[in-house]
Amino acid sequence: MLLFPLIFAFLSVVSAKDENVLMTEVFEIIVNPPMFNWTYEGKTDQFVYQPSLLNAPDLPSWINYVFSPLHHCGYLFGVPPSHNNANIQLEIIALNRKTYETRHEHINIHVSEKLNPAKYEVHMKIDNLNVDNMFEVERMESLKDIYRKVLWKDSENDLYVTFLSSAIKLGARKPLNPTEGEGVVLRLGSQSAFSPELTELQEEVRPLWKAAYPCPRDFKRTKVERLFRNSGFHMDWCSFRLIDDNNSALHQSVSKEKLLNSVENAYEDRWETVTKSEVPQRSYLHEFLFTILVPMFVMIFLALVLSLILCFHHEGIKDPESEAFFYNLYHICVDYYRSKRMEDTPPDELNQYATIHRATQSLRSLSNNREMTLSPDPMLLSRSHTNSPTSTINRGVHCRPNPPPYVRPKYRPEL
């Protein structure tokens, strides 16, 4: 039973397609229906492709995959690392959504060293295009012709693409208009030194480097703008750079390799997770005491101090209005009770009470008038009273002196 899987794996490896790629140069592999012996039937989303390393879930970091709805195919592209004579085996699984049929294909990538790699590179960004647009031969050749024939004539024989990536993948934002391109970042390299035209162009856009990146579209137009606009390229001049020999693609790949090797040597041992018992425990008792009890003690202390101050120094606090309020508190409560009782009393009882109150007031007024008529004249009383300080007779309008006590006369025989 194990013989058939081994035979199948051997046949798949033998029938794998070979692709030769060069270091420091962008390669391109087209993934389309004819690769799997299928025929395109006019539906853009009929076929789905999933590339990965053989016996691995994903692609290497230096290989990218993008599907182009415009060309109805996928593209594998990237820049090989500085590993000469390296062999990379890829597996591509294809799905036909119409028939739910799956097929797979193997690709062997052979990495070779490039003779005379680029020492000078031009870094640029194109706003109105996508990555898949740059795989069109005519469009890429028109971009190279601008440099080979006008701006960088010495690079006519060895100009090639050293870097290609989507601006979205590098951190740019998607355009507000979905019909606009996402943006492409690429580099063109050569062994020839930079021309005076390129140096002058960099000096022209150098002040833009201080602006916030990325610049808005159509933020700046240079004197060579017409060369790119006529070919359909809308350049972002804030991203235009000239990269010399020290920062070229070859040196960057070598430095990356050294960095990876140093990291691998530094972290040879795999990191192991700690057990739950080894995790240190932290006590929050001190935090609880500091945040809860300390403010509570301070509040209690301040309350006691204020209470003592108010208890022992109340005599020095004089407020006539407060004293009058407390003295008349009883009368205030009585008035409030009466008013509340009057509000709760029905109207019939109020009318009866008002009638009785008026009768009482009239009787009281008649009694007062009668007393006034029976009382003597105050002038006469003032004349009849003595003004002696030793007099014990009470004086007043309504008070008369009491008569002397009755004394029985003594008996006399002659009478």
User: What pLDDT, on the 0 to 100 scale, is given for residue 280?
Assistant: 81
Helices (H), 235-327: 249-266, 285-288, 294-312, 320-327
Most confident region among 198-207, 273-282, 367-376 by mean pLDDT = 198-207
Q: Which amino acid is at 316?
A: G
Q: How confident is the model at residue 278 (pLDDT cuts 50, 70, 90)?
A: confident
Stretch 267-280: mean pLDDT: 64
Q: Lowest-confidence range among 185-194, 264-273, 326-335?
A: 264-273
* Sequence spans of domains, the chain: 8-112, 120-255
Q: Say yes or no to pLDDT of 82 above 90.
A: no
User: What pLDDT, on the 0 to 100 scale, is given for residue 332?
Assistant: 81
User: What pLDDT, on the 0 to 100 scale, is given for residue 163?
Assistant: 95
Stretch 272-289: mean pLDDT: 79
Most confident region among 75-89, 311-325, 342-356 by mean pLDDT = 75-89
Q: How confident is the model at residue 123 (pLDDT cuts 50, 70, 90)?
A: very high
User: What pLDDT, on the 0 to 100 scale, is given for residue 241?
Assistant: 93
In contact, 230 and 262? CB cutoff 8 Å: no
Stretch 63-75: mean pLDDT: 92
- pLDDT tens figures, 134-185: 999 999 999 999 999 999 999 999 999 999 999 999 888 888 888 888 999 9
Distance between start and end Cα atoms, the chain: 177
User: What pLDDT, on the 0 to 100 scale, is given for residue 351?
Assistant: 64
Please name the residues in contact with 206: beta carbons below 8 A apart, sequence gap of 6 or more. none
- pLDDT tens figures, 296-342: 999 999 999 988 887 776 565 666 776 777 677 777 888 878 787 77
The b-or-e profile of 181-202 (16+ CB within 10 A means b, else e) is: bbbbbbbbbbbbebbeebeebb
Q: Say yes or no to pLDDT of 277 above 60.
A: yes
In what helix (H) or strand (E) does residue 18 lie, and over which residues does it extend?
strand 17-22
Q: Which amino acid is at 152?
A: W
User: What pLDDT, on the 0 to 100 scale, is given for residue 349?
Assistant: 62
pTM over 0.85: no
- pLDDT tens figures, 30-60: 999 999 999 888 787 889 999 999 989 899 9
Tell me how far apart the alpha carbons of residues 175 and 302 are, in angstroms, rounded to a whole number: 63
User: What pLDDT, on the 0 to 100 scale, is given for residue 42?
Assistant: 75
Tell me how far apart the alpha carbons of residues 345 and 342 are, in angstroms, rounded to a whole number: 5
- The better pLDDT of the pair 404, 237 is held by 237
User: What pLDDT, on the 0 to 100 scale, is given for residue 218?
Assistant: 73
User: What pLDDT, on the 0 to 100 scale, is given for residue 328?
Assistant: 78
CATH code of 8-112, in short, is 2.60.40.10
User: What pLDDT, on the 0 to 100 scale, is given for residue 201?
Assistant: 94
- pLDDT tens figures, 200-258: 999 999 988 876 566 777 777 889 999 999 999 999 998 899 998 765 554 455 444 54
Stretch 60-87: mean pLDDT: 89
- The better pLDDT of the pair 32, 391 is held by 32
Tell me how far apart the alpha carbons of residues 378 and 373 are, in angstroms, rounded to a whole number: 12
Distances 54 to 33, 50, 70, 84, 92 between C-alpha atoms, Å: 20, 12, 28, 20, 9
User: What pLDDT, on the 0 to 100 scale, is given for residue 13?
Assistant: 46
Q: Say yes or no to pLDDT of 2 above 80.
A: no
- pLDDT above 70 covers a percentage of the chain that reads 71
User: What pLDDT, on the 0 to 100 scale, is given for residue 285?
Assistant: 85
Q: Say yes or no to pLDDT of 95 above 70.
A: yes
User: What pLDDT, on the 0 to 100 scale, is given for residue 373?
Assistant: 58
